[in-house]
Amino acid sequence: MTVIESTLTADERRVADLAEHLIESHPPSSTNPVEFLGAQFDLGLAWVHFDEGLGGLGLNPKLQRIVNERVRAAGGPFSMARNPIGYGMCGPTVHAWGSDEQKQRYLRPLFTCEEIWCQLFSEPGSGSDFAGLSSRGVRDGDEWVVNGQKVWTTLAHVSRWGLLVVRTDPEAVKHAGLTAFVVDMHADTVETRPLRQMTGEAEFNEVYFTDTRIPDSEILGSAGDGWRVSLTTLMNERTSIGGGIPPRGSGSIGELIDVWEELPDDRKDEAARDRVMRLWIRAEVHRLTNIRANQNRRLGDPGPEGSIGKMESANLNKAIHEELVGLMGADGMLYGSYAMDQPATTMSADSRQKAFLRSRANSIEGGTTEVMLNILGERVLGLPGDVRVDRDVPWSQVPRN
């Protein structure tokens, strides 16, 4: 036993031992990814803070890092990479708000990536003002009939299930009249259309619901809980986007360093060196900040630290890729094929130029940078909130475009 291992707490030792057992009993190099992820779920190592029997051990969420590091080192598959919306956002929401039947039905195939999930929140007329959405759900016996349009739905084209929020009480104030559902994305009344991005790909979609029937049993929480349910999703989304703890010097900053090292000596001027070093420092500060936030995390929804991480992650990633293509010179303008494709994952930036283009979305997806600044100003710094003239007005009386 090493000095570091001898200082582990009982919970840390338990998680580490289970992770080693997983890797030894299911060698990643010879085990089907679905089988490996299924074994990981059954051992309680999918989300260690979830309940036992539901992919967790009921432990502090910071211990998940032990599992992730050991699985990564062994070359094992990651649910987050294959089912990012499901693992990072929908899974925690189902665990927090779902019925016992929903948890048993959905969590394991979500984690094994046998069933991909999407999140159906944004609409053409309500992006940052999510609570202003207008898609409707009307009760009809033991079912709800849904009509409306969602937009910017990542991976809807490959999803089996979706986390959908619609308005079920237009006479309530806008935050109180929402309800969250699990919706069958394969239903005949659900239409998915691709939205082509400037990368040429279409990982985003618009989704239309036309008299889509959803059983009452597929509500998450209760009717009218949609806003609180969505907060669980959004806070986990921001943490999953901006709260990662990669190895030091890896990821986009590592790619920038690679580009710097590839440059001929006559192009490594002092000004460029200074810019690269400043970005490396920012990346390391962000990584260390996420480590601190992870160590302080408790059971329950992530706090405003998720918004801090998300905001800095977006700004930093854009700055890194902008510097990266600048250092590439004229080569940075050569993109290659621009044929539209609908990728099966969000992590498909197979060229430096594509990664630069894709990074521009970072400050929009998962909550815009402006919204993150509002959250930090109000919840962390205690500044006065924005003027909200529609807070106490029934949604049906709020002016809309």
2-28 residue pLDDT tens: 434 557 899 999 999 999 999 999 999
Task: Assign 373 a pLDDT band (cuts: 50, 70, 90).
Answer: confident
Handedness of CA 91, 96, 98, 99 (dihedral sign): positive
For 311, 312, 318, 346, the CA distances from 369, given in Å and listed in that order, are 6, 9, 12, 20
Question: Regarding predicted confidence, which is higher, 259 or 290?
Answer: 259
- Give me the mean pLDDT over the 86-104 stretch: 96
- Give me the mean pLDDT over the 263-287 stretch: 93
- Phi first, then psi, for residue 115 (nearest 5°) are -130, 115
Q: Which structure tokens are listed for 59?
A: 């432990």
Question: Regarding predicted confidence, which is higher, 338 or 182?
Answer: 182
Amino acid identity of 70? R
Question: Regarding predicted confidence, which is higher, 330 or 391?
Answer: 330
Task: Assign 235 a pLDDT band (cuts: 50, 70, 90).
Answer: confident
Q: Check whether 89 has a pLDDT greater than 90.
A: yes
Domains of the chain: 3-111 (1.10.540.10), 117-224 (2.40.110.10), 230-380 (1.20.140.10)
Amino acid identity of 174? K
SS3 for the chain is CCHHHHCCCHHHHHHHHHHHHHHHHCCCCCCCHHHHHHHHHHCCCCCCCCCECCCECCCCHHHHHHHHHHHHHCCCCCHHHHCHHHHHHHHHHHHHHCCHHHHHHHHHHHHCCCCCEEEECCECCECCCHHHCCCEEEEECCEEEEEEEECCCCCHHHCCEEEEEEECCCCCECCCCEEEEEEECCCCCEEEEEECCCCCECCEEEEEEEEEEEEHHHEECCCCCHHHHHHHHHHHHHHHHHCCCCCCCCHHHHHHHHHHHHCCHHHCCHHHHHHHHHHHHHHHHHHHHHHHHHHHCCCCCCCCHHHHHHHHHHHHHHHHHHHHHHHCHHHHHCCCCCCCECCCCCCCCCCHHHHHHHHHHHHCCCCCHHHHHHHHHHHHCCCCCCCCCCCCCEHHHCCCC
Contact 240, 84 (CB under 8 A): yes
Q: Which structure tokens are listed for 269?
A: 């001027």
* pLDDT at position 24: 97
Q: Check whether 232 has a pLDDT greater than 50.
A: yes
Cα(278)–Cα(203) distance, rounded to whole angstroms?
32
Contact 309, 302 (CB under 8 A): no
- Strand-strand pairing, 161-167 and 117-120: parallel
Question: Regarding predicted confidence, which is higher, 390 or 184?
Answer: 184
The alpha carbon torsion through 243, 248, 252, 256 (nearest 10 deg) reads: 150
Cα(149)–Cα(126) distance, rounded to whole angstroms?
11
- Token look-up 């890092």 returns 65
- Give me the mean pLDDT over the 36-56 stretch: 97
Q: Check whether 367 has a pLDDT greater than 80.
A: no
Residue from 231, 367, 386, 249 nearest 308 by CA: 367
Q: Check whether 301 has a pLDDT greater than 60.
A: no
* pLDDT at position 2: 47
319-329 residue pLDDT tens: 999 999 999 99
143-154 residue pLDDT tens: 999 999 999 999
Backbone torsion region of residue 300, taken as left when φ is above 0, otherwise alpha when ψ lies between -120 and 50, otherwise beta: left
Contact 208, 195 (CB under 8 A): no
Task: Assign 300 a pLDDT band (cuts: 50, 70, 90).
Answer: low
Question: Regarding predicted confidence, which is higher, 127 or 376?
Answer: 376
Q: Check whether 242 has a pLDDT greater than 70.
A: no
153-162 residue pLDDT tens: 999 999 999 9
217-228 residue pLDDT tens: 999 999 999 999
Task: Assign 181 a pLDDT band (cuts: 50, 70, 90).
Answer: very high
- Token look-up 């989300």 returns 47
